[in-house]
Chain A
Amino acid sequence: MSKSPKIAISGLKKSFGRKVVLDGIDLDIGEHENLVVIGGSGTGKSVLVKCVLGLLEADSGSVKIDGREAIGMGTREREALMQKFGMLFQGAALFDSLSVWENVAFGLIQGRGIERRRAKEIALEKLGAVGLGPEVGALAPSELSGGMQKRVALARAIAAEPEIVIFDEPTTGLDPIMADVINNLIVQCVHDLGATAVSITHDMASVRKIADRIAMIYKGRIIWCGAKDEIDRSGNPYVDQFIHGRAEGPIKMEVRAL
């Protein structure tokens, strides 16, 4: 990892009422690095990336992007900072009222002020990069399958060639073949962009395909962080239980008898 991190998170805390979700996260993500955050459902993975993006206000701590503090940033500064980011949401989050190409071109037209005709050309080019033909551009998002929606969302995330791309559960709800297609596209697109990528998932096939480095979150803290090759010999019982998907181990699921 390079000496000055692209994203530096330290002491990040976030609670909802009495429920502590993030309890002092410390994590550095280097430039051009592909970090995957793993962890069970409800452990705070999505809250972590939402705090990094400013979609949720952290209670305390620090998030620095390229050395600049992002917590407490004003609206205009935040909008400018967002131009560095691309995001693929778990449910794709495509705009229903716009066609597919308008979805992909949205950030170019509204965020970057690129002329509509030029933005359409770029959008169709990006759709091609994720394996979708120009005929798809005219369709409405509701006319697409789940896998196609994820690909459109990926095209939208990379359309403005962001420096940092965030993937929130990119393969959730997809069949294994389509999940692998999406994983390959993510690796290819991030490589072509030369971007820094942060993915959150609990799909170990995705983790092994996408990651350079892996961090595991449990009870609001990073309990292990290391290179992809080290995860099978982490020596951490929590990590071992998670990657092998065992019900027995230190991570207890609260299940009540019927």
Chain B
Amino acid sequence: MLDFLARVGRVSIAFLAAAGRLALFALNALSHCLRPPFYPRLIARQLIDIGYYSLPVVGLTALFTGMVLALQSNTGLGRLNAQSAIALIVVLSVTRELGPVIASLMVAGRIGAAMAAEIGTMRVTDQIDALSTLATNPFKYLIVPRLVAGTIAVPALVFVADIIGVFGGFLVGTYKLGFNPASYLFQTADYLHADDVISGLIKAAVFGFIIALMGCYHGYHSRGGAEGVGAATTYSVVSASILILLFDSALTSVLF
């Protein structure tokens, strides 16, 4: 019994220590966001990497999500003779929930892993130490541009994903389920309120920050060569995905 309690205690302490290290890392990074020097060229490069190059994968995911959502809603609402609500279900689900969450999970897999691998490789090959010896703060040069770009780019991606997701629902609604195109679009516009989109974009900004933070944190603290970099990559994707779902639940209860 005592062994079991000791084990639980050790795990709890290790968890709290890890959470504390992550919080300090985040606070340190945020404090550097506010102090010069700033690196706009690096932020722009990260915006392109995160935002522009993630568009195909996020767009495709959003399109299929919207299409499947319309089909599944038709099945469910058909039992209640309420197929007219399909446009409402699609637009609200995509803008408030599925757009931000699914786009962020895709970006976590694509960008969070890449960040952890790049920064982790720099760590194990002494490139981060080299930055310090060249009078350049690694937090300002490596971490801040990624955090800023992540927080800006993911909401922009989600906005595009919202449009494509709704378009996916529109395609299924009009070509497969036989809705009148003008009527479907009118219903979509009628049911959609600005705060539906804004709440989704607020979530996306938080998720973008989380993705970049986890990628940078695990990469920055990676150890032990290729194996350590591989582990950092896995941790960054897994922890970002879990935190996205956790914060989604928390933000949903705050914003609705």
Contacts and interface: CB of A to CB of B under 8 A. Distances in A.
Interface of B is mostly: helix
Nearest to A95: B127
Interface stretch (A47-55, A192-200, A201-209, A247-255): A47-55
B81 interface: no
A50 B141 contact: no
Interface of A: 50, 53-55, 75, 79-80, 82-83, 85-87, 89-91, 93-96, 106-107, 110-112, 156, 160, 166
A107 B135 contact: yes
Contacts of B127: 93-96
A75 B137 contact: yes
Given A87-B133, A111-B135, 18 more contacts: A50-B129, A53-B133, A54-B132, A75-B137, A79-B135, A82-B135, A89-B126, A89-B129, A91-B125, A93-B126, A94-B127, A94-B130, A96-B127, A107-B135, A110-B136, A111-B136, A156-B134, A160-B134
B4 to A, nearest CB: 26
Contact of B133 (A82, A90, A96): A82
Contacts of A79: 135-137
A116 B154 CA distance: 32
Nearest to B136: A110
B190 to A, nearest CB: 49
Contacts of A110: 134-136, 141
Interface of B: 121-122, 125-127, 129-130, 132-137, 141
B126 A106 contact: no
Contacts of A90: 126
A83 B133 contact: no
B251 to A, nearest CB: 33
B220 to A, nearest CB: 14
Contacts of B130: 87, 89, 93-95
The dominant DSSP class at the A interface is mixed
A67 B175 CA distance: 80
Contact of A91 (B126, B133, B135, B141): B126
B141 A85 contact: no
Nearest to A46: B126
Contacts of A75: 137
Which one of B127, B133, B136 has the greatest number of beta carbons of chain A within 10 Å?
A: B133
B133 to A, nearest CB: 4
Nearest to B45: A97
Closest 9 CB pairs of A and B: A111-B135, A107-B134, A93-B126, A87-B133, A93-B130, A82-B135, A110-B136, A89-B126, A83-B135
Contacts of A80: 135
Interface centre among B126, B129, B135, B141 (most CB of A within 10 A): B135
Contacts of B121: 96
A55 B132 contact: yes
